[in-house]
Amino acid sequence: MEIVLVEPEIPGNTGNIARLCAANHMTLHLVKPLGFSLDSKYLKRAGLDYWHLVDVQVHENLQEVYDKYPDRRYFYATTKAEHTYADVEYQIGDMLVFGKETKGLPEELLAQHRESCIRIPMVEEARSLNLSNSVAIIAYEAMRQLDFPDLKEIGRGVPYFPETKA
């Protein structure tokens, strides 16, 4: 899995997402323009001491990402999609694309890739979820489907809730 943030605006969200990527061996792609400096203390604080564990790639535009990874599948997160994120059968190497916090992904982009658009179900009255929460929800569903590749086997096969004695 790789995460693509198109024009992220809030350093704390991007820092949280970087931390998620670090903990799960995911590459984080940031597409300019960014709404903050990569030296932002808020970005660094949200990512804590995980920065050495994450591969962050900065791109001038989304076309640069497509050119660098032409054979990948791209899924576009939006509140306007017909399909939910759980409808997808994820594969290693899939690119999960998210838009800026205030506007999401451009309408033209969504129209060009309508069949690859995915949404997180929520009540109609809710405009959207926080960006870092949305990335976590979709990324962990993809990882779950793939049986958490490259992650430690800690706790596998051990029941979380011990049996209670009667």
Pairwise CA distance, residues 31 & 62, whole Å: 6
How many Cα neighbours within 13 Å face the side chain of 9?
9
For 43-71, the DSSP string reads HHHHHGGGGGG-EEEEESSHHHHHHHSTT
Is 10 within any annotated ligand binding site?
Answer: no
40 is in an annotated binding site: no
Q: For residue 3, report the phi and psi dihedrals to the nearest 5 degrees.
A: -105, 130
| 157 marked as binding residue | no
Residues making up the annotated binding site are: 99, 120, 128
Q: Which residues are annotated as a binding site for S-adenosyl-L-methionine?
A: 99, 120, 128
